[in-house]
Amino acid sequence: MNASIYPMLLVGVGGLVSLFLLFYVVPRFSRVYEDRSADLPMFSKALLAWGHAVEGHGLLVFAALLGLAVGAAYALRLSRVRAAAGDVLWRIPAIGERLKVYQLARFYRTTGMLLRGGIPLVAALRMGTELLHPVLRQRLAAASRSISEGNAVSRSMDSNGLTTPVALRMLSVGEQGGNMGEMMDRIAAFHDEEISRWVDWFTRLFEPLLMAAIGLVIGAIVILMYMPIFELAGSLQ
């Protein structure tokens, strides 16, 4: 959560600056270029049309944008929309793998707590099902059946894609030492640290990219506003 504060601040400040340009500065520039609208580049014409729309129907345009923002916020609160967005993220290899590790860390921690509390292994696995993505739930059901049939826990979990190389080795050690609950806690702790390092790396990479994107948007608006002036100065020379 703390890692998202600075990017959210950047998006907020960049959005406010863009709104100021689009709702205050561009409409005033549109008056200056009104007589030269036929000579403007295509994107400058589009910006000029936006300025006229804001100047003539400012409240309506603002209400439409506000309605879109409210609609998007409401849509994100719907479980089916969040599920669809989650499915899209799961299909992205780099992000989907991290989401899988994050969910497995929560699952292993919960299962370890249940085992140390005296819950049988198969029952503990089933109680942690809701922590997993639907795809992983199906794999967990298959792993639980395999364990119930007497197969090794590490082999059953690994054959159904519910381990990482580190988790597989720790599960094998837990089977041999009879301390499966403790090993699952260690697996969760290891992957939590791994996720924290990945989030820190991603944040360091994402922040400059986000700043560059915001700068490009604001710079494009400014350049499109001043492009006719540059062309006029060039023609005078």
71-130 residue pLDDT tens? 888 887 877 777 777 677 777 777 888 888 888 999 999 999 998 888 888 888 888 888
Beta-carbon contacts of 48 under 8 Å, excluding residues fewer than 6 positions away, are 29, 30, 33, 34, 37, 40
Q: Mean pLDDT, the chain, as a whole number? A: 82
Integer Cα distance of 174 and 119 in angstroms: 16
Residue 91: HSE in the Cβ half-sphere, 13 Å Cα cutoff: 6
Go through the domains of the chain in sequence order and give each one's CATH number. 14-77 (no CATH), 94-196 (1.20.81.30)
22 CB contacts (<8 Å, ≥6 apart)? 50, 54, 221
pTM as predicted? 0.68
Q: If pLDDT is split at 50, 70 and 90, which confidence band does 235 have?
A: low
Read off the pLDDT of residues 194-206 as tens digits, 9 standing for 90 and up: 888 888 888 888 8
151 within 8 A of 65, measured Cβ to Cβ? no
Phi/psi at 206 (5° precision): -75, -35
- Cβ within 8 Å of residue 198, ≥6 positions away: 98
Q: How far apart are CA 49 and CA 45, in angstroms?
A: 6
What separation in angstroms does the CA of 6 have from each of 15, 95, 203, 210?
14, 20, 9, 10
Whether residue 39 is predicted with pLDDT greater than 70 in this model: the reply is no
Nearest-angstrom CA–CA distance, 44 and 77: 37
Confidence at residue 24, expressed as pLDDT on a 0 to 100 scale? 82
Mean pLDDT, residues 22-39: 70
**pLDDT number for residue 234:** 59
| pLDDT one-digit tens code per residue, 153-185 | 889 999 988 888 888 899 898 888 888 888 999
Question: How many CB atoms are located within 10 Å of the residue 90 CB?
Answer: 17
Radius of gyration of the chain (CA): 27
